[in-house]
Amino acid sequence: MYEGILMSTVISLFTFAIGVNICLGFTASRIKRAEWDEGPPTALSDSPWTNTSGSCKGRCFELQEVGPPDCRCDNLCKSYSSCCHDFDELCLKTGESHWVDDDCEEIKAPECPAGFVRPPLIIFSVDGFRASYMKKGSKVMPNIEKLRSCGTHAPYMRPVYPTKTFPNLYTLATMTNPLREIDKTVGQLMDGLKQLKLHRCVNVIFVGDHGMEDVTCDRTEFLSNYLTNVDDITLVPGTLGRIRSKFINNPKYDPKAIIANLTCKKPDQHFKPYMKQHLPKRLHYANNRRIEDIHLLVDRRWHVARKPLDVYKKPSGKCFFQGDHGFDNKVNSMQNKLEELNKRLHTKGSTEVFFAAVEVEHGPFSDQAEVSSIPEHLTHCVRPDVRVSPAFSQICLAYKNDKQMSYGFLFPPYLSSSPEAKYDAFLVTNMVPMYPAFKRIWTYFQRVLVKKYASERNGVNVISGPIFDYNYDGLRDTEEEIKQYVEGSSIPVPTHYYSIITSCLDFTQPADKCDGPLSVSSFILPHRPDNDESCNSSEDESKWVEELIKTHTARVRDIEHLTGLDFYRKTSRSYSEILTLKTYLHTYESEI
Highest mean pLDDT among 183-187, 242-246, 556-560: 556-560
For the ranges 30-39, 72-81, 443-452, the lowest mean pLDDT is seen at: 30-39
Q: Which pLDDT does position 174 carry in this prediction?
A: 42
Tens digit of each residue's pLDDT (9 = 90 or more) over 122-143: 877 776 666 666 777 677 788 8
**Over the range 222-256, which residues count as b (16 or more CB within 10 Å of their CB) and which as e?**
bbbebbeebeebebbbbbbbbbbbeeeeeeebebe
360-583 is classed CATH 3.40.50.2000: no
For residue 114, is pLDDT > 50?
A: yes
Q: Which pLDDT does position 393 carry in this prediction?
A: 79
Tens digit of each residue's pLDDT (9 = 90 or more) over 485-536: 888 778 899 999 999 999 999 999 988 889 899 999 999 999 999 999 999 9
Percent of the chain scoring above 90 in pLDDT:
24
For residue 574, is pLDDT > 70?
A: yes
Q: Which pLDDT does position 40 carry in this prediction?
A: 40
Helix ranges (H only) for 263-385 are none
Tens digit of each residue's pLDDT (9 = 90 or more) over 86-112: 887 777 765 567 888 888 888 778 888
Q: Give 183's Cβ-side CA count (13 Å radius).
A: 22
Average pLDDT over the chain reads 74
Q: Angle at Cα 12 formed by Cα 10 and Cα 14, nearest 5°?
A: 170
Determine the Cα–Cα distance for residues 116 and 118; give it in Å rounded to an integer.
Answer: 5
Is 165 one of the annotated active-site residues of the chain?
yes
493 Cβ neighbours under 8 A, 6+ residues apart: 405, 433, 484, 485, 486, 527
Record the pTM: 0.65
SS3 499: strand
Determine the Cα–Cα distance for residues 338 and 576; give it in Å rounded to an integer.
Answer: 19
Answer whether 540's CB lies under 8 Å from 443's CB. Answer: no
Determine the Cα–Cα distance for residues 287 and 469; give it in Å rounded to an integer.
Answer: 11
Question: Which residue did the predictor score with more confidence, 35 or 131?
Answer: 131
Beta-strand relationship, 349-350 and 10-16: unpaired
For residue 435, is pLDDT > 60?
A: yes
Q: Which pLDDT does position 336 carry in this prediction?
A: 41
- Tell me the CATH number of domain 217-320, given options 3.30.750.200, 3.30.70.360, 3.30.1360.180, 3.10.28.10: 3.30.1360.180
Domain pair 217-320 / 360-583, same fold: no
Q: Which pLDDT does position 209 carry in this prediction?
A: 64
Determine the Cα–Cα distance for residues 524 and 519; give it in Å rounded to an integer.
Answer: 17
Closest CA to 199 of 412, 4, 2: 2
81 Cβ neighbours under 8 A, 6+ residues apart: none
252 Cβ neighbours under 8 A, 6+ residues apart: 232
Helix ranges (H only) for 34-175 are 87-91, 142-150
Determine the Cα–Cα distance for residues 511 and 504; give it in Å rounded to an integer.
Answer: 5
Closest CA to 520 of 547, 544, 502, 543: 502
Tens digit of each residue's pLDDT (9 = 90 or more) over 205-246: 877 765 556 666 778 888 999 988 888 888 887 777 889 898
For the ranges 292-296, 332-336, 565-569, the lowest mean pLDDT is seen at: 332-336
Question: Which residue did the predictor score with more confidence, 408 or 6?
Answer: 408
> pLDDT band at 46, cuts 50/70/90?
very low
Phi first, then psi: what are they for 582, rounded to 5°? Answer: -70, -30
For residue 25, is pLDDT > 60?
A: no
For the ranges 39-48, 176-185, 327-336, the lowest mean pLDDT is seen at: 39-48
Q: Which pLDDT does position 416 carry in this prediction?
A: 76
Contacts 24+ apart (CB under 8 A), 543-552: 545/440, 545/441, 545/444, 545/445, 545/449, 546/449, 548/441, 549/441, 549/445, 549/449, 549/523, 549/525, 550/588, 551/280, 552/280, 552/281, 552/282, 552/523, 552/524, 552/525, 552/526
**Beta-carbon neighbour count of residue 510 at 10 Å?**
16
Q: Distance between the two ends of the chain, CA-based, in angstroms?
A: 46
3-state secondary structure 195-226: HCCCCCCCEEEEEECCCCEECCHHHEEEHHHC
Q: Which pLDDT does position 419 carry in this prediction?
A: 79
Candidate list 94, 163, 165, 347, residue with the active-site label: 165
Question: Which residue did the predictor score with more confidence, 363 or 153?
Answer: 153
Answer whether 9's CB lies under 8 Å from 118's CB. Answer: yes
Determine the Cα–Cα distance for residues 73 and 182; give it in Å rounded to an integer.
Answer: 20
The backbone region for 349, taken as left when phi is positive above 0, alpha when psi lies in -120 to 50, beta otherwise, is left
Q: Which pLDDT does position 501 carry in this prediction?
A: 95
Answer whether 334's CB lies under 8 Å from 327's CB. Answer: yes
Percent of the chain scoring above 70 in pLDDT:
70
Q: In this structure, is the dihedral angle defined by the CA atoms of residues 415, 370, 501 and 276, taken in order, positive or negative?
A: negative
> Domain segments of the chain: what residues?
5-213+337-350, 217-320, 360-583
Question: Which residue did the predictor score with more confidence, 514 or 19?
Answer: 514
For residue 291, is pLDDT > 50?
A: yes
198 Cβ neighbours under 8 A, 6+ residues apart: 7, 112, 113, 120
For the ranges 127-136, 283-292, 557-566, 582-591, the lowest mean pLDDT is seen at: 127-136
Q: Which pLDDT does position 342 carry in this prediction?
A: 44
3-state secondary structure 513-572: HCCCCEEEEEEEEECCCCCCCCCCCCCCHHHCHHHHHHHCEECHHHHHHHHCCCCCCCCC
